[in-house]
């Protein structure tokens, strides 16, 4: 029997960092070849910033998680673990063996991510050994559909896709809806920039989502379901297909599941990447083979969804909570979080933060705790400027609001939203106006065009923001942005248009001075907007080394060797190469 279990993180993040090469090196390692170590391919551990990741676990349950592992180091790491030798080259992130406890983990409570980085995603046995499908068994053999719904309502679980509607009530509406045919849909069309929560769960623990769908189907009386996942997630789709196939062969999907009258068929629908298909009516249109465009509600999907039948739609994270709640009880789940926002929330941390990656914290944890205690604080020397939550539908909150609890109501009160869970940290080198322009550009491109307010309004807003970034803005543009924002919110049919102005409204609310600086002073404080940036050479510091002149792509720098150089502003394209290449701090950026 192997003395060690060696796990390699093979989520998309790990593969992008070279984890496949580490895996191949481990297969050829002395410990694996000799049988001392068993190799397991797991999903994302959460520490995406220090991939590739390798965890070694011994027969006593003691483990050590290593980061930044290279293929050349795998033999040395395993031998050092066996010999209790110190590791000097690699980052030790967490270790029960040596007593190193990373607060990135200690501050978390993992319910959705309970199996992520622990089990092999393609192994049904691994999932079963972690109480997999026990909740389904309990549901089918010991509970009536209405009891399942009441348990969900008592847990306080709210939809993790962004809207935050009560999951139990949503199931109840579909349960009481009349119809001979009902559907359950998993919305895995994760499209927010900087968000990768759903992808990571599907890649690392697909059975937890499938089990949640089965329980939802039993509760509402559905016999068929769809997982709508974007085609840009090939690894998630591959693991889902394997999981569905194995669940069918084991009798968890199909006819008369666990020898009960309940039957269920599950399909995968690959989306083409349209952001608007994250909206439930557009998503259903896409499943039906139509163009993904939103429709007027009511009727809601619970009354008339796929092909006119009652349909329940939940996102990946919501469904991944379900089995845990059934097994552990609604009261246990409700211990975490706040009065109105129960349980935990998964976040994808990105931007200027040390521990970028995947985390799960109790609702009510403050932004400051998330960023500085779980996320490890700022990656750069520049101080924190803003936090963007909720992607294109969310808003930017300033440093002064970092003590805001992460829950649905507190964030809405500040002008932001939880969204699906993307959290981007920005420092003082970020231009807030440019950030607002980035998100407007995204939503404008992704607008399906059905609503005039969304189609034309976001275009006009983007034009105004572009003007401001180019130094052509006027004071009247501020009022026009606010007016357009309010009209777009009121006049758009779906959540894309209704929330598209949020990044602009929050940046105007908390960073209006930066807009005014762009307009009145013709200056970008962060030095990002190239039209408002000017590079100059300081005569008292320039030694005439000619490095800047040689690297300038437009030959805009004049001067002889050992003489002071000058930048020709008419020829300068503001690329910043001269500023970055000068070793004598002789070039200023204003």
Closest CA to 376 of 400, 352, 411, 340: 352
CATH tag for 344-427 (out of 2.60.120.260, 3.10.20.600, 2.40.30.10, 3.10.100.10): 3.10.20.600
Mean pLDDT of the chain: 92
pLDDT over threshold 70, residue 86: no
Q: pLDDT band for 99, please (50, 70, 90 cuts).
A: low
The pLDDT tens digits for 288-299 are 999 999 988 889
Q: What's domain 534-589's architecture?
A: 2-Layer Sandwich (3.30)
Residue 321 has pLDDT above 70, yes or no: yes
Mean pLDDT of 481-498: 90
The CATH class for the domain spanning 432-520 reads mainly alpha
Query: Which band of pLDDT confidence, cut at 50, 70 and 90, is reported for residue 531?
Result: confident
Say whether domain 124-333 belongs to CATH 3.40.50.2000.
Answer: no
Parallel, antiparallel, or unpaired for β 183-188 and 224-230? Answer: parallel
At residue 179 the predicted structure's pLDDT band, cuts being 50, 70 and 90, is very high
- pLDDT band with cut points at 50, 70 and 90 for residue 494: confident
pLDDT at 1 over 60: no
User: Can you give the residue ranges of every domain in the chain?
Assistant: 4-101, 124-333, 344-427, 432-520, 534-589
Model confidence at 2, pLDDT cuts 50, 70, 90, reads low
For residues 552-563, average pLDDT: 93
Domain 4-101 belongs to what topology?
A: Glutaredoxin (3.40.30)
Question: What pLDDT, on the 0 to 100 scale, is given for residue 124?
Answer: 98
Question: What is the rounded distance in angstroms from the CA atom of residue 347 to the CA atom of residue 198?
Answer: 10
pTM: 0.91
The residues facing 425 across adjacent strands are 351, 387
Question: What is the percent of the chain with per-residue pLDDT over 70, rounded to a whole number?
Answer: 97
pLDDT digits (tens, 9 = 90+) for 125-140: 999 999 999 999 999 9
**How many angstroms separate the CA atoms of 44 and 110, rounded?**
13
Tokens encoding 503: 């990044």
Give the DSSP letter string of 52-111.
S-EEEEETTS-EEEEES--GGGHHHHHHHHHHTPPP-SSEEEEETTTTB--HHHHT---S
Neighbour order of strands in the sheet with 224-230: 265-271, 224-230, 183-188, 311-315
Both structure tokens of 434: 């440019």
Confidence grade of residue 88 (pLDDT, cut at 50, 70, 90): low
How many Cα atoms are found within 13 Å in the side-chain-facing hemisphere of 162? 27
- pLDDT of 481 reads 96
Does the pLDDT value for residue 83 go beyond 80? no
Check if 4-101 and 124-333 are the same fold: no
Mean pLDDT over residues 174-197, rounded? 92
């Amino acid at each position: 029997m192997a003395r060690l279990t060696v796990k390699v993180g093979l989520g998309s993040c790990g593969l992008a960092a070279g984890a496949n090469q580490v895996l191949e090196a481990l297969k050829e390692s002395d410990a694996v070849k000799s049988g001392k170590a068993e190799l397991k391919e797991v999903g994302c551990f959460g520490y995406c910033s220090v991939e590739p990741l390798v965890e070694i676990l011994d027969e006593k349950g003691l483990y050590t998680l290593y980061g930044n592992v290279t293929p050349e180091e795998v033999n040395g790491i395993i031998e050092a673990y066996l010999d209790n030798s110190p590791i000097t080259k690699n980052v030790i992130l967490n270790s029960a063996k040596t007593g190193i406890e990373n607060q990135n983990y200690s501050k978390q409570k993992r319910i959705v991510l309970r199996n992520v980085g622990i089990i092999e995603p393609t192994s049904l046995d691994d999932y079963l050994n972690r109480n997999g499908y026990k909740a389904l068994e309990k549901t089918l053999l010991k509970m009536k559909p209405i009891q399942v719904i009441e348990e969900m309502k008592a847990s306080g679980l709210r939809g993790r896709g962004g809207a935050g509607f009560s999951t139990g009530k949503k199931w109840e509406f579909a349960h009481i809806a009349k119809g001979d045919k009902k559907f359950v849909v998993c919305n895995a069309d994760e499209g927010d920039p900087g968000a990768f929560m759903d992808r990571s769960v599907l890649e690392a623990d697909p059975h937890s989502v499938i089990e949640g769908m089965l329980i939802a189907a039993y509760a509402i009386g559905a016999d068929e379901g769809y997982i709508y996942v974007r085609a840009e997630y090939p690894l998630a789709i591959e693991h889902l297909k394997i999981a569905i196939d194995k669940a069918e062969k084991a009798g968890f999907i199909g006819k008369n599941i666990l020898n009960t009258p309940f039957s269920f068929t599950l399909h995968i629908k690959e989306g083409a990447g349209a952001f608007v298909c994250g909206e439930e009516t557009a998503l259903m249109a896409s499943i039906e083979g139509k163009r993904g465009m939103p429709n007027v509600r009511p009727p809601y999907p619970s009354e008339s969804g796929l092909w006119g039948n009652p349909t329940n739609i939940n996102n990946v994270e919501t469904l991944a909570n379900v089995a845990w709640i059934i097994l552990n009880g609604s009261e246990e789940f409700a211990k975490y979080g706040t009065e109105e926002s129960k349980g935990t929330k998964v976040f994808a941390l990105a931007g200027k933060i040390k521990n970028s990656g995947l985390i799960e914290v109790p609702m009510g944890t403050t932004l400051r705790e998330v960023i500085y205690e779980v996320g490890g604080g700022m990656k750069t020397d520049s101080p924190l400027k803003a936090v963007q939550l909720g992607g294109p539908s969310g808003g930017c909150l300033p440093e002064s609001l970092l003590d805001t609890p992460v829950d649905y109501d507190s964030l809405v009160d500040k002008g932001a939203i939880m969204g699906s869970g993307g959290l981007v940290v920005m420092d003082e080198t970020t231009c807030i106006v440019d950030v607002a322009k980035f998100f407007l550009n995204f939503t404008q491109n992704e607008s399906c065009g059905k609503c005039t307010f969304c189609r034309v309004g976001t275009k006009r807003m983007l034009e105004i923001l572009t003007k401001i970034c180019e130094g052509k803005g006027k004071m009247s543009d501020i009022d026009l942005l606010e007016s357009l924002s309010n009209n777009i919110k009121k006049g758009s049919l779906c959540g894309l248009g209704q929330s598209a102005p949020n990044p602009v409204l929050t940046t105007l609310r908390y960073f209006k001075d930066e807009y005014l600086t762009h307009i009145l002073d013709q200056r970008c404080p962060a030095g990002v907007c190239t039209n408002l940036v000017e590079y100059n050479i300081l005569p008292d510091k320039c030694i005439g080394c000619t490095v800047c002149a040689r690297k300038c792509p437009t030959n805009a720098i004049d001067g002889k060797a050992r003489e002071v150089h000058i930048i020709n502003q008419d020829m300068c394209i503001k690329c910043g190469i001269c500023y970055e290449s000068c070793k004598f701090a002789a070039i200023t950026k204003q």
